[in-house]
Amino acid sequence: MAVVMDADVEAAEAIARRMIEKVRCQQVAVGSSFLKITLDCGIAGYPVHGQTGKQLIQRALAALDLATAAGRGTCVVFDPEQEAAMRAPQRDASREVF
């Protein structure tokens, strides 16, 4: 899901955190079981994190990847230091030969 809003990064982060808390309180009935819903958010703001829609989406997705890796119900704002990680090829340790 992408949310586009006219807000600064701090306001967007505050809104995302409120959304995470609202969703965290929800459960979905599946048969006789209840599942908890979680939400992770990645945020990138114009013009701080990108000048084009493509850049903003790429950077928000990079932040979302970090949020997802950090655990459920997490919000991460893109950090320019993540740029290097976006460009670096991913190592596959299982293919390394010693």
Does pLDDT of 53 surpass 60? yes
3 within some domain: no
89 within some domain: no
- The more confident residue out of 21 and 90 is 21
Domain that holds residue 75: 9-84
92 within some domain: no
**pLDDT tens digits for range 9-37:** 999 999 999 999 999 888 999 999 999 88
96 within some domain: no
> Which long-range CB contacts under 8 A does 43-51 form with residues at least 24 apart?
43/9, 43/12, 43/13, 43/16, 43/75, 43/76, 43/77, 43/78, 44/77, 44/78, 45/8, 45/9, 45/12, 45/77, 45/78, 48/9, 49/9, 49/78, 49/80
2 within some domain: no
Answer yes or no: pTM beyond 0.85. Answer: no
Counting the structural domains of the chain, the total is 1
